Structure 1
Amino acid sequence: MIEVQGLTKQYGEVRAVDDLTFTVKPGIVTGFLGPNGAGKSTTMRMILGLDTPTAGTATINGERYTSLKNPVTEVGALLDAGARHPNRNAANHLKWIAKSNGLPMSRVDEVLKLVGLSDVARKKSGGFSLGMGQRLGIAAALLGDPGVLILDEPVNGLDPEGIRWVRDLMKALAAEGRTVMVSSHLLSEMALTADHLIVIGRGQLIADTPTYDFIKENSRTSVIVRSEHLPEFATALQNEGIGFHEAVDQEQRPTLEIEDRSTDEIGALAFSTGVSLNELSLRQASLEDAFMEMTGHAVQYHAGEFPGGAHPAPGTPAEAAGGATASVAEPAGQTTTEEK
């Protein structure tokens, strides 16, 4: 278990992490999310003893990382997949880690096979692609067969097969009772992977909740109705005091969009009024929708208009708006220059 209590990190006048408290429990995959500059990397570095907190504590199984007698067998971490000597091959990179930590050399071959790098074990890591480097970093994290894993952007650079493999791996490790904490900007992937979410913004805790609840509580769902008798059904909705708005689907067919209602309720109304429906579907919000709704105020950079005058969605980072002009958000003493 990872326990963070009142964790704070001050860099001069900038508070990168501000009184952060949360627990990462075993047996589930916990997603660690936040906009750029939220303090995620700083928090993970403090958990791993790489940065000293200004205040508060971060412990793993009740101990500080620096107090663990053989940390590689208790905690596996991937913060920077590029932290390796480019002239050292994949097998030797893992062998020196194993040797220095008293691990059997047989474990090197096991993890290379697990991550799919057995065929390039003798190849210099400096020639690896981004995805291969990620796999080698994951292999290093797994080398000591730890009970706790802390992974920062583990699917960065991986192809679809590799992304699915990492997802299945994290779920399998959690199912064994391990503690899995993973940070990622790929929200669609986190929606498929994470059972629980810890969301921070400008160094402060925003949410600590199951993924399903986070999406449900911070975004809306809507019922889509298509019928040859839309005017009649619109009248029935008005008579029941149910709000709606007109829309069109991808084939430009007229529809009605009804927010915050269930398909059961709308279907029952159509039946009772004798209106036949060609479509009755539920449009569910995504994790991205919920994330943008919840963290828009904590985004460090906000984009201007797109070419042609279109506006990006609220909370969209400047990097996503090609050619848009970015401006620094209002100062709140919480920004940091870290990448994530």
Structure 2
Amino acid sequence: MPKGIWIFVEQRDGQIRKSSFELLSEGRKLADQIGEPLVGVILGQGVETLVKAVAAQGADKVILVENEQLKNYSTGAYTSALNQVIRKGEPQAFLMGNSATGRDLAPRLAQRLGVGLASDCTGIEHDPEKFLVFKRPIYAGKAFAYTGSTARPVLATIRPNTFAIAAADESRQAEVEKETVSVDPADLRAIIKEVALATSKRPELVEADIIVSGGRGMKGPENFTILEQLADVIGAAVGASRAAVDSGWREQKFQVGQTGKTVSPTLYIACGISGAIQHLAGMGSSKFIVAINKDPEANIFNVASYGIVGDLFEVVPLLTEEFKKLVSA
């Protein structure tokens, strides 16, 4: 009989991703409500040290899968390993963050398991008949769909910054189950030999709690410096609209929007962004939106929590100076 709510604990270089802590916190609530155990699944090599943090965040059990071929993420190896572990353990649900890894891995895993996938969800509810019901934005965020499944396991990816992270309980202990998997060489269509990471003190865009983004109104790549100065003061990530990326002012990895990254921060500061539907689809679920634009008719003001009609080249430096005062106070 299927059992347990399982959370894929995504890690990079031995550090658990924020979205995984969010899922563990929400999973703990669901597990208590439904009467199911909460299980964290960790893949990698030399990652046993992460068990304590997963237990502290609410897991009753941790499945630890260590293998040399899982040291660095690769689609084939991780899909194969998870497929084996899930088929053996038969969870009721398997939840993942809607990160780049989650978006790459989840559909392949769904195909292997022969189940459907609810992707980029922004809410989870328990339903006595359907077990879990997921809330998903559709039509570029203009409406929401609610979906459930009778098949097991229920498979879903959850948008980062959807749930709050509960306080860790360091006294919690979790059962540890070590699993051995075999990775078929046929699954390794690509072999990771080296990983080169760009280092930055700013948080990653999709997991950032605060984002400062610039659009066509920035007028050129050199002007993003004023956004970076503000971001560094308030601990924010820096994003960009498609117009800014298409103009070559920022790399594509910074693009927020329907063809870029979907973000859901607590605070999103849009500077010189008109508010095209493509951009709104990527940041419309932000809890608070501050728009800075000299055009009072800009569409961005229709979704903004607060709007400043003015020249961003005057407004942003003023905001930076005021935040410096607050931070140093």
Query: TM-score, normalised to structure 1's length?
Result: 0.26
Look at both structures and tell me which one has the larger radius of gyration over its CA atoms.
1
Query: TM-score, normalised to structure 2's length?
Result: 0.27
